[in-house]
């Protein structure tokens, strides 16, 4: 069998000598029952799993461990979970057990003494002991879930393979793998000489950089607003900041300046490192800085004027498997044009909602919906709601129907979601600029198997007269590697945004500190790089040739951006169309390009009428300007 490189490297891990034999266990569960090693004397194999109530990977694997416990019970296998985090109380452990529907014992390791005795470091981390309580395996459950990646199926089911081998009296083929997850929040001795404390420095940094997401009711899996909670996460905070995983910000600082830049200064980083190293001292907690102000239940500047349900009823999300994009329609009954000064799509269940796009389309045009060119409002993890500069707004034309596209991601347990759209209306008389969303996109994707640097480009529609650039939002899927926006004016190319390490889990909208005036006729040239190799841990199948498609295992290359034009210029441009009409026209062209690319199987940029379905012959004749019976890609793209 051929193993990926990271598995082969894990074979070199040497288990600490102190962990080779399980000599004792004496812990209490969330109900107060005492458990000792004698409780498991009749079990030939003991699986000890270190979990945590708020670690996302521990939540996923708690369900899988329950399945394994049931499947191997007849073989004398017993599963027991240990909670060693200082921040996990017995009450929280009890709620975790109920929420995850856990049937095996879950024990509290007060002061992390048991974790120390076996050298456990992360959640989830698995230790498998044989009948003599000799350690036979240490590491992960399997390789389906990791930091920043989710595969449809595991490539190697490490724990199940280990249990099968032990059950049949075989040696364990891979006795150790690298556990991936959250660091155990240990109780540590604080340095009394430390000048860095939570009260004096750390709380302020977290408020400025982290709390907008790490607070009750927001996207982050745990809050960072209470000292005891934060102290338990201190080592993990230091690790994710040092690795550049948090705060999530992927643009370089070599080009434009962004209003929503989440990046930490080096001084802030060093403060967090020093605090964790000092044992997370509390300092004076009597005068802590207040967290950022928040509108109740929303991230909008005020309560929305109207709240619209994304789905008519709660949607049931299965525990596992792939869920195709869901589409829901809603008629808001707008009999007059409506202007939006701010809008937010709010997931009803942040655990399972990956992204939502909302579109305003003329009634009866649902079949022509195409999000590649633009949308009304979008939600992706970590993105702030759309709040435009004063006097700027988006337009919902009278008679529009709202269509929602929702991408759900299973998390190991059955869930429900009913998300909402909050709209803040603006007085039409106060609007000076209309905001338009459009994009550069490349639908002709053919990413070869194993290719680690597949590069493609796309040009945007030209900017109209008096346009100002507001923001950029690159979109690719799990094979996305890097993305770049260059503004092309005449023969000059200027880089505006560069993302050297694209992350599908954090599709940020990069909002300019100041709107940028863009010469009429300029375009964006977007360049995207994809990694379809085995080295990409997100890659669902490195052997697949990947093309354009909506699902996560397909790919997209879209360089969304928002620009504004003076409202007066929306009445007539050189084309005789309003800005809104031009945007709709570009969406129509994008839809036609997708159809063209599907039919152009030999990728020569041409279609013969005889090779196209009869139902599209009227459109073919309309676009075939020279009536030569051959339709080119350039003809399809003409406005």
Record the tokens describing residue 608, joined without a space: 């013969």
Q: Are 363 and 395 in contact (CB under 8 A)?
A: no
Q: pLDDT tens for residues 498-520?
A: 999 999 888 889 999 999 999 99
Q: Helix, strand or coil for residue 138?
A: strand
User: The tokens 């603006």 sit on which residue?
Assistant: 426
Q: How does residue 486 score in pLDDT terms, banded at 50, 70 and 90?
A: very high
Record the tokens describing residue 469, joined without a space: 């650039």
271-275, 374-378, 439-443, 619-623, range with greatest mean pLDDT: 271-275
Record the tokens describing residue 486, joined without a space: 């260059």
Supply the pLDDT for residue 586: 55
Specify which residues 405 forms β-bridges with: 327, 357
Supply the pLDDT for residue 598: 73
Q: Helix, strand or coil for residue 422?
A: strand
* Per-chain mean pLDDT for the chain: 87
Helix/strand/coil percent split, the chain, to 5: 25, 30, 50
Supply the pLDDT for residue 13: 38
Task: Report the alpha-carbon distance of residue 385 to residue 411 in Å, rounded.
Answer: 25
Supply the pLDDT for residue 149: 79
For the chain, the C-alpha Rg in angstroms (whole number) is: 27
pLDDT-wise least confident of 236-240, 287-291, 385-389 = 385-389
Which are the contacts of 69, defined by CB distance < 8 A and separation ≥ 6? 47, 77, 78, 79, 103, 104
Q: How does residue 5 score in pLDDT terms, banded at 50, 70 and 90?
A: very low
Task: Report the alpha-carbon distance of residue 496 to residue 486 in Å, rounded.
Answer: 6
Please give the C-alpha separations between residue 565 and each of 234, 297, 464, in angstroms, as whole numbers.
Answer: 47, 32, 8
Q: Which is more confidently placed, 518 or 386?
A: 518
Q: pLDDT tens for residues 534-573?
A: 999 889 899 999 999 877 889 999 999 999 999 865 443 4
CA diameter of the chain? 87
CA–centroid distance for 599 within its chain: 33
Which are the contacts of 538, defined by CB distance < 8 A and separation ≥ 6? 148, 149, 150, 151, 478, 479, 504
Supply the pLDDT for residue 473: 92
321 pLDDT higher than 90: no
Which are the contacts of 515, defined by CB distance < 8 A and separation ≥ 6? 389, 468, 469, 470, 564
Q: Which of 483, 485, 580, 478 shows the shortest CA–CA distance to 537?
A: 478
User: What's the CA angle centered on 426, arms 425 and 428, to 5 degrees?
Assistant: 130
Question: What is the pLDDT averaged over residues 223-251?
Answer: 94
Record the tokens describing residue 257, joined without a space: 């300046």
Q: Which is more confidently placed, 604 or 234?
A: 234
587 pLDDT higher than 90: no
Q: Is the peptide bond before 124 cis (omega within 30 degrees of 0)?
A: yes
H-run or E-run covering 433:
strand 433-441
Q: Are 18 and 119 in contact (CB under 8 A)?
A: yes
Q: pLDDT tens for residues 90-112?
A: 999 999 999 899 999 999 999 99
Question: What is the pLDDT averaged over residues 380-403?
Answer: 86
């Amino acid at each position: 069998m051929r193993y990926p490189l990271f598995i082969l490297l894990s074979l070199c891990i040497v288990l600490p000598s102190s962990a080779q034999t399980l000599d004792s266990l004496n812990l209490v569960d969330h109900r107060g029952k005492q458990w000792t090693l004698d409780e498991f004397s009749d079990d030939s194999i003991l699986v000890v799993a270190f979990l945590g109530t708020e670690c996302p990977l521990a939540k996923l694997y708690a369900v899988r461990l329950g399945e394994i416990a049931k499947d191997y019970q007849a073989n004398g296998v017993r599963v027991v979970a240990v909670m060693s985090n200082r921040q996990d109380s017995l009450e929280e452990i009890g709620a975790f057990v109920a929420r995850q529907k856990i049937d095996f014992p879950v024990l509290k390791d007060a002061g992390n003494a048991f974790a120390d005795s076996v050298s456990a470091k992360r959640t989830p981390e698995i230790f498998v002991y044989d009948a003599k309580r000799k350690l036979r395996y240490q590491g992960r459950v399997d390789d389906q879930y990791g930091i920043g990646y989710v595969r449809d199926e595991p490539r190697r089911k490490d724990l199940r393979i280990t249990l099968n081998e032990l059950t049949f009296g075989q040696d364990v083929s891979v006795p150790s793998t690298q556990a991936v997850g959250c660091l155990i929040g240990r109780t540590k001795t604080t340095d009394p000489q430390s000048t860095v404390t939570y009260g004096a420095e750390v709380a302020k940094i977290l408020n400025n950089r982290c709390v907008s997401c790490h607070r009750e009711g927001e996207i982050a899996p745990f809050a960072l607003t209470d000292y005891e909670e934060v102290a338990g996460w201190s080592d993990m905070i230091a690790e994710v900041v040092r690795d550049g995983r948090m705060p999530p910000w992927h643009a370089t600082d070599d080009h434009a300046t962004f209003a929503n830049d989440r990046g930490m200064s080096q001084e802030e980083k060093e403060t967090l490192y020093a605090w964790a190293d000092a044992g997370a001292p509390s300092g004076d907690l009597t005068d802590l800085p207040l967290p950022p102000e928040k509108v109740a239940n929303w991230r909008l500047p005020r309560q929305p004027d109207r709240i619209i349900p994304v789905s008519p009823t709660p949607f049931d999300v299965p525990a596992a498997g792939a869920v195709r994009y869901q589409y829901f329609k809603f008629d808001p009954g707008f009999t007059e044009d409506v202007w939006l000064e701010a809008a937010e799509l709010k997931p009803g269940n942040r655990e399972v909602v990956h992204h939502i796009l909302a579109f305003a389309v003329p009634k009866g045009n649902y079949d022509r919906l195409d999000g590649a060119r633009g949308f009304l409002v979008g939600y992706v993890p970590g993105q702030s709601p759309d709040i435009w500069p004063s006097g700027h707004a988006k337009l919902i034309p009278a008679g529009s129907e709202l269509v929602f596209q929702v991408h759900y991601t299973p998390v190991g347990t059955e869930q429900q979601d009913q998300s909402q759209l909050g709209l803040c209306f603006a007085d039409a008389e106060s609007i000076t600029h209309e905001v338009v969303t459009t994009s550069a996109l490349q639908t002709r994707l053919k990413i070869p198997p194993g290719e680690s640097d597949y590069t493609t480009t796309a040009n945007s529609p030209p900017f109209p007269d008096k346009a100002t650039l507001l923001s950029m939002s690159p979109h690719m899927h799990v094979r996305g590697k890097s993305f770049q926006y260059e503004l092309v004016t005449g023969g000059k190319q200027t880089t505006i945004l560069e993302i050297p390490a694209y992350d599908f889990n954090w599709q940020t909208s990069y909002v300019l500190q100041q709107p940028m005036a863009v010469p009429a006729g300029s375009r964006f040239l977007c360049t995207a790089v994809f990694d379809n190799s085995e080295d990409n841990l997100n890659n669902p199948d490195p052997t697949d040739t990947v093309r354009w498609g909506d699902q996560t295992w397909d790919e997209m290359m879209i360089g969304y951006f928002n620009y504004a034009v003076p409202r007066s210029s929306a009445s007539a441009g050189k084309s005789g169309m309003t800005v809104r009409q031009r945007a709709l026209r570009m969406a129509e062209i994008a839809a036609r390009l997708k159809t063209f690319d599907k039919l152009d199987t030999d990728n020569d940029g041409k279609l013969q009428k005889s090779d196209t379905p009869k139902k599209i012959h009227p459109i073919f004749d309309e676009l075939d300007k020279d009536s030569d019976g051959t339709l080119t890609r350039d003809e399809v793209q003409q406005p």
